[in-house]
Structure 1
Amino acid sequence: MSAQAIETQTVRDASTPAAETLLDVRGLRGGYGRIEVLRGVDLQVARGEMVALLGSNGAGKTTFNHTLCGLMKPWAGSVRFNGVELGGAHYREVVRAGLIQVPEGRKIFPNLSVMENLELGSFTRARARRAQNLEKVFGIFPRLKERTAQLAGTMSGGEQQMLAIGRGLMAEPELLILDEPSLGLSPLLVEEMFALIGRLRGEGLAILLVEQNVGQALEMADRAYVIENGSMRFSGRPEELLNSDALRRAYLGV
């Protein structure tokens, strides 16, 4: 298949119906200094939907997440969440709206206990329901309940990832962004982590899964986007991506 044919296939619109859309990103541009990283990115997530955002290192995934969550200011474009414009909003306002990110590398507080890390998750949102949400998190992650007094920095990588997700759940997210949740985990823990993500999805939580583990992500996602050099090159159903040899080679390297 020619490059032109690939490009034609990758621009198909896989946006969700407006009535169901929870997150609607249109024409998002941004970067660092004078270096443009995001070049007019469009992405939509519906309520209860799991969407995979795939791309190689340096494709723009982390910059997209940071711009989405208020850690970086967008240069242009729109970020609407629950019908409210959040583009350029302070990250605290983004959290208050229910758009919660579990960042790449976990970013837990290693010198604080497991309990203290979890409690910080509800500092900005859902503080009044902290006790109820703690019980919910402990129901999902029994290991965290067993280690509430343990310093987070002394936990294993898998346990730290559980803590990072638990901390995100403490804020009662309407949309949970999981940035490379399988990074650095053993194959067994990767399976466990994706089983957990499937459980959260089964409970109706909308998830934006940002992953380099292509096979696992596409197996679980309702829809997928592929970002390359700051632009979306594909959006559609996972099977459409996997069934095209040209697309797999061009954008997934498989």
Structure 2
Amino acid sequence: MSTAAPLLGIAGLRGGYGRVEVLRGVDLQVNPGETVALLGSNGAGKSTLNNVVCGIYQAWAGTVAFGGADLSGAHYTEVVKAGLIQVPEGRKIFPNLSVLENLSLGSFTRARERRAENIDKVFATFPRLKERTGQLAGTMSGGEQQMLAIGRGLMAEPRLLILDEPSLGLSPLLVEEMFGLIRQLRATGLAVLLVEQNVGQSLEIADRAYVMENGSIRFAGAPDELLRSDELRRAYLGL
């Protein structure tokens, strides 16, 4: 693990909806250049954590530090400006806009002046998107839409990219392809927080892993440590 200050530092984070507490004192870190897997079953609180960290929902308590700045309570536009970018669960692309239009919107808040250059970089990473520049996003396959969602995130020149369930709804072949793309991002030195239910694939590429259950972190450590423990595998991963 890096001895440098964490790029993302979450401490004692609490939050929820109405009077229902979902996050119960979450502590989590992502270091520069690191790929961290956040695992847990559906309903564990993973997406709520993402949305609180990214300023979409307000935290009830706790702190979010990013790149040395305190983003606790910051509006989501300020979070994006800082370079903390989420590719949300379900892709959330604009189906009636073209591939190029969707990508262009990714640089609306950050890196707008380098939009053309970054579009070229996205097309180099995802050649299939270049072939479909003018195609309406809603007419693309699920795998292509996920590529578009990640490409749109890259348009903002992220310092940390949060990928929320990127393999959800994809065929096994496309899941393999998606994790191959995540490996490519990892190789560039981009910090990635990978939020997934696909345990095996995630642990293969992660530097560290967290397991979340009922809004709390139940495990934090090396993937090998998690896989070596029969008790942890049975209790939290269903393996």
TM-score, normalised by the number of residues in structure 2: 0.99
Work out whether 1:205 is the aligned partner of 2:190: yes
Gaps of 5+ in 1: 1-14
Are 1:38 and 1:231, in contact at CA under 8 Å, matched by a contact in 2? Answer: yes
Instruction: Give, in whole Å, the separation in 1 of the partners of 2:128 and 2:208.
Output: 32
After superposition, the C-alpha distances for 1:173-200 in whole angstroms (9 at most, x for unaligned) are 0000000000011111111110000010
RMSD across aligned positions (CA): 0.8
Match of 2:26 among 41, 47, 58: 41
Q: Percent identity?
A: 77
After superposition, the C-alpha distances for 1:194-246 in whole angstroms (9 at most, x for unaligned) are 00000100000000000000000001000000000000000000000000000
| 3-state secondary structure, aligned to 2:162 | strand
Paired residues for 1:115-130 under 5 Å: 115-130=100-115
Report the AA paired with residue 103 of structure 1.
Answer: P
Work out whether 1:104 is the aligned partner of 2:89: yes
Are 1:29 and 1:40, in contact at CA under 8 Å, matched by a contact in 2? Answer: yes
Are 1:26 and 1:41, in contact at CA under 8 Å, matched by a contact in 2? Answer: yes
Are 1:16 and 1:45, in contact at CA under 8 Å, matched by a contact in 2? Answer: no
Paired residues for 1:17-56 under 5 Å: 17=3, 19-56=4-41
Q: Which residue of 1 aligns with 2:45?
A: 60
| 3-state secondary structure, aligned to 2:120 | helix
Q: Deviation of residue 20 (structure 1)? A: 3.5
Instruction: Give, in whole Å, the separation in 1 of the partners of 2:82 and 2:177.
Output: 29
| 3-state secondary structure, aligned to 1:21 | coil
Match of 2:160 among 175, 179, 188: 175
| 3-state secondary structure, aligned to 2:95 | coil
Match of 2:66 among 81, 98, 101: 81
| 3-state secondary structure, aligned to 1:74 | coil
Gaps of 5+ in 2: none
Work out whether 1:156 is the aligned partner of 2:161: no
Q: How many residues are treated as equivalent by the alignment? A: 239
Q: Which residue of 1 aligns with 2:237?
A: 252
After superposition, the C-alpha distances for 1:84-140 in whole angstroms (9 at most, x for unaligned) are 010110000000000000000000000000000000000000000001100000000
Q: Deviation of residue 16 (structure 1)? A: 5.7
Match of 1:131 among 109, 112, 116: 116
Instruction: Give, in whole Å, the separation in 2 of the partners of 1:228 and 1:130.
Output: 39
Report the AA paired with residue 162 of structure 1.
Answer: M
Report the AA paired with residue 90 of structure 2.
Answer: G
Match of 1:193 among 178, 181, 204: 178
Instruction: Give, in whole Å, the separation in 2 of the partners of 1:143 and 1:211.
Output: 24
Paired residues for 1:215-230 under 5 Å: 215-230=200-215
Are 1:16 and 1:44, in contact at CA under 8 Å, matched by a contact in 2? Answer: no
Work out whether 1:238 is the aligned partner of 2:223: yes
After superposition, the C-alpha distances for 1:152-184 in whole angstroms (9 at most, x for unaligned) are 000000000000000000000000000000001
| 3-state secondary structure, aligned to 1:204 | coil
TM-score, normalised by the number of residues in structure 1: 0.93
Instruction: Give, in whole Å, the separation in 2 of the partners of 1:149 and 1:69.
Output: 30
Report the AA paired with residue 133 of structure 1.
Answer: N
| 3-state secondary structure, aligned to 1:178 | strand
Q: Deviation of residue 251 (structure 1)? A: 0.6
